Amino acid sequence: MTTPTTKTTTKRGRGRPRKTETDGPKLPSASKAKKRTIKVADPKPPAAIPDLPVNPFVHEVLDAVSAQKTKARKVEALRKYEHDSLKVIFVWNFDETVISLLPEGDVPYGETEDQTVYNGSLSDNLAREAAGGESATGQDLDGRNKTTIRREYQNFYHYVQGGNGSLSTVRREMMFIDLLQGLHPREAEILVLVKDKDLGTKYNISLDNVKQAYQDIQWGNRS
């Protein structure tokens, strides 16, 4: 008996190859693809360290240092205007072993012979002067006919522990107010900040900046 054979036939399509899952959209040729150019903005140059007047106010130096954007530039500015008065300010502010003997907070500020009349705080008077008015001391914002931190810094020992123990509390506070009234208002503000170790609330200058700029400062063991 002969086993019948079965023919297997393959159906052909109508001339189009069947699409497979691997087939995707055609990409444009390299010659037709558009090249995009991304422009990178030039970085802004760092702020120049200003040329301050000879024997500048301490607040002018602190403003110039604080305005620098990098640690290296801050250190450069500190070195450019290096002065012992600046170092004393930084030690008073940053060294935890320097203990102020003055009350914390704002300070009465006004020109009175016996300091019994309250003419507002230092902050009040700075605001009045900045608005174009006259302060309680009659001092304008230029203030160059007054004394300066550069001239007075060697007397700051009166206001810290271990400095001058013979002063009464009242006498010390009166001396400090007298000192503030003789200074440019912005310099007086610096001393009020420093006595409370709050310089960093106004100026963007860190202890690390100071240590790198002034490596001769000995820190600690001051009280």
State pLDDT tens for residues 84-130: 999 999 999 999 999 999 999 988 765 544 334 445 666 666 666 65
Query: Which pLDDT does position 15 carry in this prediction?
Result: 57
Half-sphere exposure of 66 (CA within 13 A, CB side): 12
Kindly give the parts of the chain with pLDDT less than 50: 112-118, 135-144
The pLDDT of residue 113 is 45
Sorted by where each begins, the domain ranges of the chain are 58-213
Three-class SS of residue 119? coil
Amino acid 89: pLDDT: 98
Both tokens assigned to 117? 């009349």
Is the model's pTM score more than 0.75? no
Q: Which residues make Cβ contacts (< 8 Å) with residue 204, sequence separation at least 6?
A: 66
Provide the pLDDT for residue 26. 63
pLDDT value at position 103?
94
Residue 28 has what pLDDT? 58
> Which pLDDT score, from 0 to 100, does residue 107 have?
86
